[in-house]
Amino acid sequence: MVFNVREDLPPDEALELASSFLSGTIAMATSLASCVDRDEAWSLVYQIEMAKAVLDTGISGTRKIEELRADALREAAERGSV
């Protein structure tokens, strides 16, 4: 394998990169499916789009959790609990 991922890559950056890679893959698969006009090619496009949707939902959820955690810490600090 030629492609390596840094072990210290933050999870949020890894998710963003994976989403970007899938965006490019969707574009390529769509282009291929347009030329080939085969059911299998279009199925590939849809499967990649679904994978990207799941990944993007995970990114949004991760950000929401981080925001909630930051809000809770801020509120605790304001109350003097931290």
In angstroms and rounded to an integer, the radius of gyration of the C-alpha atoms of the chain is 19
Phi/psi at 2 (5° precision): -90, -30
How many domains does the structure of the chain reveal? 1
Please give the residue range of the domain that contains residue 69. Answer: 12-79
Residue 1 located in a structural domain: no
- In Å, how far are 9, 20, 82 from 32, measured between CA atoms? 32, 19, 56
Structural tokens at position 74: 């801020």
Residue 25 located in a structural domain: yes
Confidence band of 82 (pLDDT split at 50, 70, 90): low
Judge contact between 30 and 49, C-beta under 8 A: no
Residue 70 located in a structural domain: yes
Structural tokens at position 36: 């080939």
Give 12-48 pLDDT, tens digit per residue: 888 888 888 899 988 988 888 888 767 888 888 888 8
Residue 55 located in a structural domain: yes
Residue 4 located in a structural domain: no
Residue 52 located in a structural domain: yes
pTM here?
A: 0.59
